[in-house]
Amino acid sequence: MLGLGAVAFIDEVVFHQLLHWHHFYDRSTSGVGLVSDGLFHAFSWFATVASLLMVGSLRRERAFRVAAFAAGWLIGAGFFQLYDGLVQHKLLNLHQIRYGVSLMPYDLAWNVVAAVLLLAGMAWWVLMRVHHPEDPAP
């Protein structure tokens, strides 16, 4: 969940606030877009804080595993990125990555990065489970 929260936070800061490429919801007024950005930002912080609390709990129980954490981070990051690119951008049409340009290179880069993160995390998880089956799953 920390990967999900981190990528959502990066998306919000970079694409919404710094570059001004889009809002979370672009099919209404700018004010509605800003409110949707605020809700999205709150979600990303909730996911991040909840994840850090879980990490703290695992560390106190001496059950924290770096490999499981890293694999889980990549899976969460890739899942969110792919969900955003396919469901929010294309299926629900909440917003596009950028407006006024050809979307193909942006969509391709967005979804390829997402797939690489997700597949890398899944591969790491499988390798971890094969080599250390006693460790908890990410």
Domain boundaries, the chain: 2-131
Please tell me the least confidently modeled range out of 9-23, 81-95, 115-129.
Answer: 9-23
Alpha helices by DSSP H, listed for the chain, are 2-11, 30-60, 66-83, 103-131
pLDDT > 70 in the chain, percent: 96
Predicted TM-score (pTM) of the model is 0.84
Residue 29 to residue 64: CA distance in whole angstroms: 45
pLDDT tops 80 at residue 136: no
Residue 40 to residue 13: CA distance in whole angstroms: 11
What is the band of 101 on the pLDDT scale with cuts at 50, 70, 90?
A: very high
**Residue 107 structure tokens:** 């969509």
Write down the mean pLDDT value for the chain: 90
Residue 62 to residue 4: CA distance in whole angstroms: 24
What is the band of 24 on the pLDDT scale with cuts at 50, 70, 90?
A: confident
